[in-house]
Structure 1
């Protein structure tokens, strides 16, 4: 049986935000590849510090974290011009309707429930990245056409 590499297969820089140090380490191990770099942050405050420099293609964030949770992080990302369109996947243990609706209202691109299935998450991140890149190309084309 042929081996199948299910990690991210396109160049990408991912920020994984979670207060659980074990999940942060799992994210590095399970989502990194020769083409994909996974950085980690322990909460929304640290995530915003990482994101100030730009260069990220995707954020995966938990909702419930100390100092700044995922909802507040989403709102801050959507308010800033640099991160307004940055895809954000919410990965949380909460699966109640209120959390789901609030996450999407705050600007989440996608939503997954813990415990994380790393293979499924990698596929979902591939899809989210590809979609975000196509949307960015469309925005650039629209801006060019308007100019």
Structure 2
């Protein structure tokens, strides 16, 4: 099983839009279609399809907030492919790609503070909680480079 990240284009955007999470996860994950539209009309947004071999199984979007900071805004694995280690491999690939950004000093991600699974997962990659985001809704965690 090979996991890769590929840019989204006219050959794969429809499949990305059709990916879905479990009903329980829906309140935590934005619609992929909306994310692709958002990325199309805003500068500094990068989207990737997550592939398992030749099958699209997930979606990433990160945003260049400043020359020194990138925020991971979207990360999802389709419900049919969850709990197989794909997300762990995909996040590692994404972090490695993000780190290639010139002048980068910090990668950040937000998640619900009431989600202990997210905290454990992201901290295993080196993300450290720094407090609630500016809206006071989600936990903000960062990797300082």
The structure in which a higher percent of residues are helix is: 1
Same fold per superposition (TM over 0.5): no
Q: Return the TM-score normalized by structure 2.
A: 0.34
When normalised by structure 1's length, the TM-score is 0.34
More strand by share: 2
